[in-house]
Amino acid sequence: SQKIEQNSEALNIQEGKTATLTCNYTNYSPAYLQWYRQDPGRGPVFLLLIRENEKEKRKERLKVTFDTTLKQSLFHITASQPADSATYLCAPLSNDYKLSFGAGTTVTVRA
Amino acid sequence: GAGVSQSPSNKVTEKGKDVELRCDPISGHTALYWYRQSLGQGLEFLIYFQGNSAPDKSGLPSDRFSAERTGGSVSTLTIQRTQQEDSAVYLCASSLNFQWGYTFGSGTRLTVV
């Protein structure tokens, strides 16, 4: 069955540093992968989509890579700020256009 | 509306009772999804509506769960004879084009006591 694994540990980093989150998937080959941010008590918010033929995608201080050989996506937050503290969800798109979500990685940025 | 609206935001019910959860998607969004999220867990897909097509019910955990979408807009998720393991946050999302991402509501927190 399809499986999605994100960093099992929460990530605590100092303001200004880069946070790197990992998403690994098995047993399928998504053509698209999305990343979402979720704050406590709220629904996830869409951040970025990357296609299988794109190696890297950037949006402001965010960078996402997609390695279909390794079946892995990396999500980077550069120059991190306390406001970036949240849970980040990886969501590869299945062939029937449904998103499957990882359990998420919680990031805490210390001032 | 400006976003996806879900009601109620919180629901406490007794074991064995039926509950209805409502989702108002963004106007014009053809796709509507229901997920549930248990504490510390990822989002679990429940059901997917796309336009006038038959819904994808492959994620519904048991026949106690059902959902409908009336007029291609509002959706209702019904859980019959609720059990304690049904306690979770139920999230609804809508989308016009998956490449633009899903827009989620804030969810309904269901507690079965």
What are the domain boundaries of chain A? Answer: 3-110
Instruction: Tell me what the mean pLDDT of segment A80-101 comes to.
Output: 90
Q: What is the pLDDT of residues A2-49, one digit of tens each?
A: 789 998 779 999 999 999 999 999 988 898 999 999 999 999 999 999
Q: Which residues contact B88 (CB under 8 A, 6 or more apart)?
A: B36, B37, B38, B39, B109, B110
With a cut of 90, say whether residue A96 has pLDDT above it.
no
Q: Report the pLDDT value the prediction gives residue B1, as an integer from 0 to 100.
A: 53
Chain A's closest residue to B49, CA to CA, is A98
Q: Report the pLDDT value the prediction gives residue A94, as an integer from 0 to 100.
A: 77
CA-atom Rg of chain A in angstroms: 13
B60 to chain A, minimum CA–CA distance in Å?
Answer: 14
B4 to chain A, minimum CA–CA distance in Å?
Answer: 10
Q: What is the pLDDT of residues A47-85, one digit of tens each?
A: 999 999 998 999 999 999 999 999 999 999 999 999 999
Provide the CATH number for the domain formed by A3-110 in this structure: 2.60.40.10
With a cut of 90, say whether residue B103 has pLDDT above it.
yes
A15 to chain B, minimum CA–CA distance in Å?
Answer: 25
Q: What is the distance between the alpha carbons of residues B60 and B46, in angstroms, rounded to a whole number?
A: 5
With a cut of 90, say whether residue A89 has pLDDT above it.
yes
Cα dihedral A58→A64→A67→A73 (10° resolution):
-170
Q: A98, B42: Cβ pair inside 8 Å?
A: no
Q: What is the distance between the alpha carbons of residues B113 and A60, in angstroms, rounded to a whole number?
A: 45
Q: What is the pLDDT of residues B37-68, one digit of tens each?
A: 998 788 999 999 998 889 999 999 999 999 99
- Among A6, A101, A105, A106, the residue to mutate for chain B (most B Cβ within 10 A): A101
- The answer to whether A100 and A4 are in contact (CB under 8 A) is yes
What are the domain boundaries of chain B? Answer: 5-112
With a cut of 80, say whether residue A91 has pLDDT above it.
yes
Q: Please state which architecture CATH assigns to domain B5-112.
A: Sandwich (2.60)
Chain A's closest residue to B57, CA to CA, is A98
